Amino acid sequence: MGELRNLQYIIKLEPGVFELETMTISNVKPDPNAIMAEVKKNLPIHYKNNGQASKSMIFYRDASTFKPIKFDIEFTKSTGFTKKGLEAVNREVNAFTSKLISHPPKEFKDLLCNYYTNTKMKDNKPLFHTKLDVVKATLLKDEDRSVDLDDMQQVAENIFLKHLDSTKYYRVKSGLFGSRDTISLKKSFNEKKNKNKNITPKLTSSKTGLTVFMFENNFSQSGKLDFVNKPELYKYTYEGKTYNDKDEFMYVLSFEPRKSKAKYNGKLYVSETDYAVVRCDYALAEGETVSGFNMKLLLGVKASENISKGTLIYKKNTDNKGYYLQYASVETGQYIYLNRPLKFIELTDSEKDVVAFDLKVEGNTADKKEFLTISKSEINETAFDNVKEEDFNYILLKRYDSKIWKDFVSIEPLEEMKQFKVAE
């Protein structure tokens, strides 16, 4: 304290020298088209599988919803049924359809798994192999109000077919078109028919779903992500720079359709060092649809994929060569319309038993998929070969339980999942 007093409380600081990296200061904005040209040139390098065997721990969610606007089914004819009998049938059907409208079908699948890949040579050609080890899987679903169209058809058939003669065979006709499928309530007939169906194990369908999802969201392979791999279709605007989690610069580019084939707008985040797209946020531009057809007048059928949006985040591999999909949130949706008469016609040469009804369905389907790579590492070929695959069963839940994933890494549940419960 005395020394400070002698110095009159003045402390002189010695100058220090800090050498900074070379910096370029300019008021000229980078050319977004030149950036995208570099992005396209480097796509095969950044997002190509290197052929090395790998193991990834993945959390994957698939949330599906069907929201009917209209769901009308009315029996118009049934051989052997009186007018009052038809009215009773229609009341039962109306109870079923009213329940669908008041409580739209939803289901949520959560999957935690180890996903293995390897590329092996066969006849001098590389073959891509995958294996799946499911750690845990849950299914949040009301089985009486399934969102799967095949399951909904089965529920409807259970209602309709109970009014048909169990000793007879029927064929379905819709308008001018007839079905080749034979329908019967005979137990022996249906057991034989089900034996011929190719039932895909859950393991196989889940593995295929994951592989397809990663392929569809790979910038160098996907036809949908043309705002990255076909930049000539879009107009790009330079929005500035930002940092990633490693304090590396990224260019921020917005994009919008320039040609009629382009459908999306959004933003890209491009690494300044190697021109890799490390993040994109995209959505359909106003008035655009992915696909669709309208045969409302001729066939009473219309469909339009009118929702397509998402966020994709890529992360550099540990060897600093190439990138892998770290996180994705992808939403798709479709409008459907169906207005057709249907008939069950008995297969016989004598007087035919006929059950006829009118079907009117209008609504929207929605699907949201979330994907998270928790960890990723390279393994040797022996480790890949030693992986044993086993089929699995979903844990069926009637309401969301936050404790179900407490010991595992998972994605925050959707708000709809928290509110979901099976209708009594």
Q: What is the pLDDT of residues 340-354, one digit of tens each?
A: 787 777 777 776 667
Q: In the beta sheet, which residues pair with residue 327?
A: 313, 372
CA dihedral (251, 257, 261, 263) in degrees, to 10, reads 90
Closest CA to 285 of 311, 261, 263: 263
Q: Where are the beta strands (DSSP E) in 123-259?
A: 125-141, 169-174, 177-184, 234-243, 249-257
Rounded distance between C-alpha atoms, residue 360 and residue 74, angstroms? 9
Q: How far is CA 9 from CA 1, 12, 14, 189, 192, in A?
A: 9, 10, 16, 102, 100
Rounded distance between C-alpha atoms, residue 19 and residue 55, angstroms? 42
Rounded distance between C-alpha atoms, residue 120 and residue 424, angstroms? 52
Q: What is the pLDDT of residues 173-216, one digit of tens each?
A: 766 555 556 665 555 444 554 454 455 689 999 999 999 999 99
**Taking the model in full, what pTM does it have?**
0.80
pLDDT at 189: 44
Residues of the chain with pLDDT under 70: 1-27, 80, 143-167, 170, 174-200, 351-353, 421-424
CA 20 to the chain's CA centroid: 47
